[in-house]
A and B are shown apart, each in its own frame.
Chain A
Amino acid sequence: MRAADVLILGGGGAGTAAALFLARAGQRVILLERGLIGGQASGVNHGGVRQQGRTAAELPLAMRARALWGQMRALVGTDAEFDPCGHLRLARTPDGEAKLVAWAALAAGYGLKPRLMGGNAIRSAYPLGESVIAGSLLAEDGTANPRLLAPAFAAAARAAGAALLEDQSVAELHHDGARFRLRANGAPFAAPILLNTAGFWGGRIAESFGEPVPVVAIQPNMQVTEPLPHMLGPNLGVADGTLYLRQIARGNVIFGGGRGIAWADATRTRPAVAAGDATRALVMELLPWLRGAMIIRNWTGTDGEMPDGQPVLGPSLTRPGLFHAFGFSGHGFALGPAVGQVLAELVVQGRTDVDLAPFAINRFNQDGNGAISG
């Protein structure tokens, strides 16, 4: 029997970050990952580290995360290629432009100052197509390499004394009245605290403790070009969410939009041609200089999406000692370090400064249709 103070299920950005913060707070931590650390949504997403565009509910968490990203090297010994290159959010329609303006007003209340630009200004500052009518730049946003995040936190967590195990098939998860018990690859584990950072599959764990939520599996469809001469500095998004794009230091342009294909309970995925075609068309419209670029690879992975696009984050309402952090709906990568920190605060101090009410697990009505309450 392997006993711990905290068991963590799921080795993505949130889980590995929680493992690090808890281990440094003196907790005995065991993290169990079904596949490879960072192998799912944390590792295959776009790599945006952005505050711009987020809801009021997510902004405090995103701002806390942005601060942590700025200290990543001190925190885990590597910056995971974090680059504060700015986030440029584009509008192609008046509706989109209205979204940019609305967000700027919201952001002002949090001390964030995006720079709004009209069509002429933005097209003269950046190599964009004629259909861009407005844009908003938040200079302190940026990007990082998604494949490096969870492994970096995992290495630091191990150095701090946490045990992180991969290729673990978890079964018989239950609470015996005193502790959470489970078997991983047949071996027994127990702890009074359980963190559910299992991504899309976190919904299963929640359901097993009597609090089902309407999380669905989504596959962000990603593509990358060959290395190209540098043309674009900031991370790029579109107000309606149909495209996200960035050019990395080596010159490749990484972009995503639409959905890939999944099967086997969303553990197996592959990118989709049709979604890729639609996204490529949008890329060529917005960035005509990419017209002849060569696509060298497509990929995808599974993330969990909630009906309101906000994660489930906070304590279980049915089982004391259980804490959830899943369903980040395609934009959890940047939040990982902050989510881990918040989970550690909940475990160690019993509270956190971040308002978790918007992320409550019971905010969906009984039939799981996902109406937003409160």
Chain B
Amino acid sequence: MRVAVVGAGPAGIRAVETLVAAGLRPAWIEESPDGGGRIAQRPPGAFRRDARALYGADAPRARALHATLDGLKPQLDWRPGTLVWNLDPRTRRLELIQAGRRGTLDYDRIILATGAMDRVVPLPGWTLPGVTTLGGAQVALKAQGVAVGARPVFIGTGPLLWLTALQYARAGAPPPLILDTTPLLTKRAGLPMLLHDPALALRGLGLRLALLRHAPIHEDVTPIAIEGAGHVQAIRWRDAAWREHVTACDAVAMGWGLKPETQLADLAEIPFAFDPIQRAHLPVRDAAGRSPVPGHYLAGDGARVAGAKVAEWTGARAALALLEDAGLPFDAGQAGWLEARLQGQARARAALERAFPYPARLAARLPDDTMLCRCEGVTAGQVRASAAPDLNRAKALTRLGMGRCQGRVCGLAGAEILAAQLGVPVARVGRLRGQMPVKPIPMDAL
């Protein structure tokens, strides 16, 4: 039996650990030069900071993940720096590209642990140099030791907003202020977290308190525009009292939580369903991580955003399901333990999502002349004017999502704009799908 695992973040690491412990030798494909995902992303070799300096409070988790990862590599077919650009669930074949060279990998069973990226809302001026995602600002600092700006403004919502801003403040690039689009009152919806995941809740509160020493946090803000000539120079915004401000800055890092990278799940023909809590269409899977497509399993943030701890659990659980389905011995007790933990986490995550919601109204009200699709230069107004009844029709008519990123960046905001235009719930306008190649590949790749 040939088993493939795509992704070497927390979910992939625990999945592979489980498979190898059962005596399997999977093919493990990771697009980055090394594993660790984002939370435990390793800088290139020349960097010297230790785990504490790199990962802060996440250092113990990161060290443990790295130790497991490095121990696993020699025991299997480890394929770093390799992109899976197509998946055919019928022939059970992966199309790969690594350093410009193509290859294929055939499998019998596969676990997709493809991770997530930032969820963003376009703003006027968001294509200016100096604008990044919150995740991007973190990668810059963690993996490259650089700050996206000397005077960066952080805008968005959620614990990642506070964490990134605090990391920058402590590193020596303090933000002049932090802009959170969620009102304080809405955050009370997060109180159940204290019950279901007190450690995480307290950590979040701790982040916020620590951040206050460095910079003011404004809540319930409405961003207006990012301004500058050729580079970010300021951000214009309204505070909760609707007063307008202009804050000078040389970078803006934005993010409202994360969204799963689901393109391979699409190519695997896994059905999707709308999740009202994450306000997104997500690939369907059971509690163990089995998708409706036999032999295809999903784990980690690539199936549903739930953080690194949950990713490790879902990775292990999916591997156990794979072993069970293959008729191999598996630890049913561990499977039960994991599922109980995952059930508890579900309530914590729901509270988190409600406390820090995606600003759907902000997205829906984007001015007509704002660039919505960065790849194709499509404006919000063009999407509204298309009179398309759903997102895929809007794509056909306006080219929204037809560019290099296949709608990864603009798709969610595009859905909100269209839904608001049509006066329907956002679930009804559908979603953009991954198509092969899931990322651009050169015409002449052999």
Contact = CB atoms under 8 A, between A and B. Distances in A.
A291 B443 contact: yes
A279 B396 CA distance: 24
A295 B86 contact: no
Contacts of A291: 443-444
24 contacts: A36-B393, A38-B396, A147-B396, A148-B397, A151-B396, A225-B443, A226-B403, A226-B404, A270-B267, A271-B436, A280-B444, A284-B443, A284-B444, A290-B443, A292-B443, A293-B442, A294-B440, A294-B441, A294-B442, A294-B443, A295-B442, A296-B406, A297-B435, A298-B437
A273 interface: yes
A226 B443 contact: no
A292 B88 CA distance: 26
Interface string A312-334: 00000000000000000000000
B370 to A, nearest CB: 19
A204 B392 CA distance: 28
A293 B397 contact: no
Interface in A130-152: 147-148, 151
Contact of A297 (B88, B392, B396, B406): B406
B402 interface: yes
A298 B436 contact: yes
Query: Most chain-A CB neighbours within 10 Å: which of B95, B403, B406, B436?
Result: B436
B5 to A, nearest CB: 22
Contacts of B392: 36
Interface in B406-446: 406, 435-437, 440-444
Interface of A: 36, 38, 43, 147-148, 151, 224-226, 250, 270-271, 273, 280, 283-284, 290-299
Given A280-B443, A295-B440, 9 more contacts: A43-B396, A270-B267, A284-B443, A290-B443, A291-B444, A292-B442, A293-B443, A297-B406, A297-B437
B443 A298 contact: no
A144 B393 CA distance: 17
Contacts of A224: 402
Contacts of A295: 437, 440-443
A294 B397 CA distance: 23
Interface in B355-412: 376, 392-393, 396-397, 399, 402-404, 406
Contacts, number: 62
Contact of B444 (A271, A273, A292): A292
A271 B434 CA distance: 13
A280 B436 CA distance: 15
Interface of B: 86, 88, 95, 267, 376, 392-393, 396-397, 399, 402-404, 406, 435-437, 440-444
B372 to A, nearest CB: 16
Closest 10 CB pairs of A and B: A294-B440, A147-B396, A293-B443, A296-B440, A291-B444, A297-B435, A296-B404, A298-B436, A280-B443, A295-B441
Nearest to B392: A36
A318 to B, nearest CB: 37
A289 B442 CA distance: 13
Nearest to B86: A273
A127 B363 CA distance: 44
Query: Most chain-B CB neighbours within 10 Å: which of A148, A225, A293, A295?
Result: A295
Contacts of B444: 280, 284, 291-292
Nearest to A280: B443
Nearest to B399: A250
Contacts of B397: 147-148, 151
Contacts of A225: 443
A226 B393 contact: no
Nearest to A297: B435
Given A273-B95, A294-B404, A299 B435 contact: yes
A297 B95 contact: no
A38 B395 CA distance: 13
Nearest to B376: A250
A283 B442 CA distance: 13
Contacts of B396: 38, 43, 147-148, 151
B293 to A, nearest CB: 14
A110 B281 CA distance: 54
Given A43-B396, A147-B396, A151-B397, A298 B442 contact: no
A38 B88 CA distance: 26
Nearest to A166: B389
Nearest to B387: A155
B443 to A, nearest CB: 5
